[in-house]
Structure 1
């Protein structure tokens, strides 16, 4: 199986060598890596050049400066890379971040999973971060969700779900849509992917604004958005946090900000979230 790996990179001169170096060490060598230099102002371009100049499997695209928006900016860069390739030439489409270190058997293990399980549509490992000199499980989501930095989609699944959406919440929208199409999202816990820096560290958006916008762009209706906001408020033990999330969510609604998902897809997402709510909270 042949991989198309697209890596958005913005000011990653220190991290990108680790990511690309881990690709060079893969036991499964049938891949093409497209590094999308998204308006970097550091030496990211020079780092990319060291790989594209010596290995034909690596290629680069250089974009101008764009505004930093959580979620949408990285998918925009990904799509710019995707549009330069003929995906019919590949079996697996990957969106990798520029600050991860893959184990040497990553592509080989993902290939085996797809070959042995035709129902698998999205596969990935688990993220680990460095704490106190040790690499420990990140723990930001459940162990059944493939995180954004290391997505590997079966091509047929990727096409059926119409790719990934240029919006906040894309890395949850994809899982919901592919499941609705009959595909499975699978985490391979034996694959430990090292995340060099903490996600979200560069975001300037306040947490409450982030959640409000996230719930809106995910397509949640008012009821489910308010339930989700209350859950986050309980985690932070702050009633004010709930109010701020709702203000952000309602602000997006009043402005009628464009959603990147259709009405039918919003119905699918709300139905899935409601089923999760009944199962986890209401025990129905």
Structure 2
């Protein structure tokens, strides 16, 4: 199976070389890398050039600078890179971040998993971050969910879900839609991926605004959005945090901001959330 790996990169001069070097070191060699230089103002382009000049598997395109919006910016860059490729030339489509370090057997293990399990639609490892000189499990998501920095899709699954959505919550929307279509998302825990930069560290959006917008663009109805907001407020032990999230969510609703999912997909997402809620809390 052949991999197409697309890496959006914005001002990643300090991290990108580690990512590209870890790809060059892969034991599995049948892949192509497209680095999308998304309006970088640092030396990201010079880092990319080191690899494109010595290895024909590495390619790049340059985009104009765009506003930093969680979710939509990175997916827009990903799609610009995808548009330059013939998707039918590949079997596995990857969206990787520009600040991860992959173990040498990453692609090899992913390829074997897809070969041996035709029902697998999305696969990936677990993220690890450095703390006190040691790499420890990030723990920012459950171990059954493939995180955004290291997504690998079977091409047929990727096409079936309509690709990635330019919106906050895209990396949960894909999981829900593919499961609804009968595909499986699988985390391979033996694959430890090192995350160099902590996600969200460069976001200017307030946490309450982030969650409110996230629940809106995920397509959650008011009831489920309020339940999700209360869960985040309980984690923070702050009643005011709940009302701030709700204010952000309701602001999006009143503005009728465009969703990147259809009415049918909204129903799928809400049904999945409701079923998960009943299973966990109502024991139904």
1:252-280 per-residue CA deviation (whole Å, 9 max, x = no partner) reads 00000000000000000000000111111
User: Which residue is 2:123 aligned to?
Assistant: 123
Q: 1:235 Cα shift?
A: 0.6
1:152-172 per-residue CA deviation (whole Å, 9 max, x = no partner) reads 000000000000100000000
User: Which residue is 1:213 aligned to?
Assistant: 213
1:202-248 per-residue CA deviation (whole Å, 9 max, x = no partner) reads 10000000000000000000000000000000110111000000000
User: Which residue is 2:15 aligned to?
Assistant: 15
The size of the alignment, in residue pairs, is 284
For residues 200 and 85 of structure 1, the distance between their equivalents in structure 2, rounded to whole angstroms, comes to 30
User: Which residue is 1:264 aligned to?
Assistant: 264
SS in 1 for 2:283: coil
For residues 263 and 114 of structure 1, the distance between their equivalents in structure 2, rounded to whole angstroms, comes to 31
For residues 90 and 65 of structure 1, the distance between their equivalents in structure 2, rounded to whole angstroms, comes to 29
SS in 2 for 1:127: strand
1:92-111 per-residue CA deviation (whole Å, 9 max, x = no partner) reads 00000000000000000000
Q: Which runs of 5+ in 2 are unaligned?
A: none
User: Which residue is 1:229 aligned to?
Assistant: 229
For residues 11 and 278 of structure 2, the distance between their equivalents in structure 1, rounded to whole angstroms, comes to 43
For residues 271 and 73 of structure 2, the distance between their equivalents in structure 1, rounded to whole angstroms, comes to 28
User: Which residue is 2:132 aligned to?
Assistant: 132
User: Which residue is 1:142 aligned to?
Assistant: 142
User: Which residue is 2:105 aligned to?
Assistant: 105
For residues 148 and 222 of structure 1, the distance between their equivalents in structure 2, rounded to whole angstroms, comes to 26
For residues 138 and 198 of structure 2, the distance between their equivalents in structure 1, rounded to whole angstroms, comes to 9
For residues 65 and 31 of structure 2, the distance between their equivalents in structure 1, rounded to whole angstroms, comes to 28
User: Which residue is 2:4 aligned to?
Assistant: 4
SS in 2 for 1:8: strand
User: Which residue is 2:61 aligned to?
Assistant: 61
RMSD: 0.4
For residues 199 and 3 of structure 1, the distance between their equivalents in structure 2, rounded to whole angstroms, comes to 25
User: Which residue is 2:52 aligned to?
Assistant: 52
User: Which residue is 1:25 aligned to?
Assistant: 25
Q: Which consecutive aligned stretches of 4+ in structure 1 deviate over 4 angstroms post-superposition? A: none
2:81 paired with 1:85: no
When normalised by structure 2's length, the TM-score is: 1.00
User: Which residue is 2:276 aligned to?
Assistant: 276
